[in-house]
Amino acid sequence: MSQEISVAEEEVVKAYGWAARDSSGVLSPFHFTRRATGNNDIRIKILYCGICHSDLHLAKDEVGMTIYPIVPGHEIVGEVTKVGCNVTKFKVGDIAGVGCMVGSCRSCNNCTQDLENYCPKMVWTYNKHHEDGSRTFGGYSDKLVVDEHFAVQIPDNLLLQGTAPMLCAGITVYSPMRYFGLMEPGKHLGVVGLGGLGHLAVKFAKAVGAKVTVISTSPNKKKEAVEQLGVDEFLISHDQEQLQVAMGTMDGIIDTVSAPHPLLPLTELLKTNGKLVLVGAPIQPPELPVFPLILGRKLIAGSAIGGMKETQEMIDFAAKHNITADVEVIPMDYVHTAFERVAKADVKYRFVIDVANTLNSPY
């Protein structure tokens, strides 16, 4: 019997996940509903979901915008179990990925240029409302219903648990590296912070033949960075001698660090016309050094994920070069310990929840 359905044939979908109810950030089992699988929708059985640092921030309402109850998770990989009658991109049994967004207006200047991630009406995968007023809930759950436009096709050769973090961490670094011309052979890229985002920036850059220098506060990460990730240089961010030697050598820097840190030493590492791109988001605003920017025609920019076309491009690039995130797979009931470890940057380099085997959904 076909699993292609029309809206009239299905009521709302019973779902099960783990949610935080208040700013303690404590998650516990939560029963809720997803919308009926619409004509343009796919329903996904969630297999894996990565843990992003923003999951922790939002679960604890650290940025003052959380809507409780909240089911976190926007690094989702799963199996398509139903498709709406207008769906063309997926069939039942395909593997789909869903990242940080599940909706946009589809008609503004950004959307028509494949930049749905900058749409003023963009809908986050969790902690937002759909256009009809219903809540969005994330991937710490058993299933998801999403418009096929906001899902990407996952190639067969990619390890699924390592692919999940690509849907947030991967596209967050891939997009600015592409846009600012930093993913080219012979370019010298600096990567600030060797965590979930940083290690993927290294992998992308090395895949195209760029030179990569990691800038880190942690000397103990050097051995692994050089021997396992192939980093060319490793700078300790508080070692003034190392920084002095590297001044003016980098075409661009991807700064993935969300903790407060000075930007001036980073701008000094850039060549003339160099670009410092911020993808980490410190809550406290940094000091902005203006004269070094003027004297070197240097640029400080920000970047947020990527549109759906670019996200699919990133996944296809990863499949071609066999790039996935380095992950630690955990059961659902380990999530609180994982949150504590994420807060201490104690993971190499991303936690991924084995949702399918450990959530124990009753549905």
Measured in whole angstroms, the distance separating CA 188 from the mean position of its chain's CA atoms is: 24
H helices of 118-268, in order, are: 160-163, 169-179, 196-207, 222-227, 240-246, 264-267
| pLDDT tens digit sequence for 49-81 | 999 999 999 999 998 999 999 999 999 999 999
Q: Is the dihedral of CA 15, 165, 169, 114 positive or negative?
A: negative
| Identity of residue 190 | G
- Which two three-digit tokens encode residue 22? 């208040």
Q: What is the reported pTM? A: 0.95
Tens digit of each residue's pLDDT (9 = 90 or more) over 102-148: 999 999 999 999 999 999 999 999 999 998 889 999 999 999 999 99
CB atoms within 10 A of CB 28: 10
Cα–Cα distance, 290 to 294 (Å, whole number) = 6
Mean predicted confidence (pLDDT) in 248-270: 95
Integer angstrom CA distances of residue 101 from 27, 52, 55, 63: 22, 14, 14, 19
Mean pLDDT estimate for the chain: 95
Mean pLDDT value of segment 288-302: 94
H/E element holding 351? strand 350-354
Domains of the chain: 13-167+326-354 (3.90.180.10), 169-302 (3.40.50.720)
Q: How far is CA 217 from CA 97, 192, 221, in A?
A: 33, 9, 9
Q: In what order do the strands lie in the sheet with 233-236?
A: 233-236, 211-216, 188-192, 250-255, 270-278, 299-302
| Partners of 350 in the β-ladder | 327
Q: Tokens for 326, please give them.
A: 């380095």
| Per-residue model confidence (pLDDT) at position 286 | 86
